[in-house]
């Protein structure tokens, strides 16, 4: 399947997990459940794209014994969930407004960016670039020794290898970080 069809199916099947194109593609590129095949990313399990009958229903039940505010909250969530399902094709082509979930863990074994094949289809290559750039921006202020910081370093390498970040920009950032480090060391000596 192409990118748009894949994302559309994911949002329809899992509207509370994948609220946007960005959320669906973040999962595809950072999950161990996807692999490259004939220049496209495909799931190992059909449940990654299609919700089965055994899966939990996306709509919450509204019990009569709940408070009015709780019933309204559940009703709103159910309406938004239905709207996402009904508009999945539109959400699948949207630009990257934001990632709903900012947590990012990108171990090498799950990194679909670096194992992208030479015969990657154009739409999947563009999706990889867009997703990597969005995640790179999301993680740029990550604290050292966190999953997000390690992911940022990995994404920087990928984007540089794809010519999307110049070595000059990387060198400039290194200089900025070295200056910050020197300032911190100077503060530590003063105390």
Tell me: the pLDDT tens digits for 53-80?
A: 434 456 666 776 778 888 788 888 888 8
Q: What is the pLDDT of residue 57?
A: 56
Q: What is the pLDDT of residue 116?
A: 94
Give the count of domains, the chain.
1
Question: Helices 122-138 and 21-30 meet at what angle, rounded to 10?
Answer: 100
pLDDT along the chain (191 residues), means of 10: 94 89 92 92 85 53 75 84 90 79 72 91 96 90 88 91 84 83 84 65
Domain span at residue 120?
3-190
- Contact assessment for residue 85 and residue 133, using Cβ atoms and an 8 Å cutoff: no
In terms of DSSP H, where are the helices of the chain? 3-13, 21-30, 68-86, 88-91, 122-138, 147-161, 167-190
Q: What is the pLDDT of residue 93?
A: 92
């Amino acid at each position: 399947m192409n990118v748009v069809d894949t994302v559309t199916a994911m949002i329809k099947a899992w509207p509370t997990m994948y609220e946007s194109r960005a959320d669906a593609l973040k999962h595809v590129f950072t999950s161990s459940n996807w692999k490259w095949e004939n220049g496209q990313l495909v799931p190992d399990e059909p449940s990654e794209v299609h919700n089965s009958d055994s899966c939990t229903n996306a709509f919450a039940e509204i019990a009569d014994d709940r408070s009015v505010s709780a019933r309204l909250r559940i009703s709103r969530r159910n309406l938004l969930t239905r709207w996402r399902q009904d508009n999945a094709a539109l959400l699948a082509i949207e630009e990257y407004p934001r990632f709903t979930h900012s947590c990012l863990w990108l171990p090498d074994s799950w990194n679909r960016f670096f194992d992208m094949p030479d015969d990657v289809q154009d739409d999947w290559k563009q999706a990889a670039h867009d997703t990597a750039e969005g995640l790179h921006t999301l993680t740029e202020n990550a604290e050292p020794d966190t999953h997000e910081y390690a992911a940022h370093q990995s994404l920087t390498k990928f984007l540089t290898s794809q010519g999307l970040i110049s070595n000059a920009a990387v060198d400039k950032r290194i200089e900025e970080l070295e200056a910050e480090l020197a300032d911190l060391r100077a503060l530590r000596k003063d105390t």
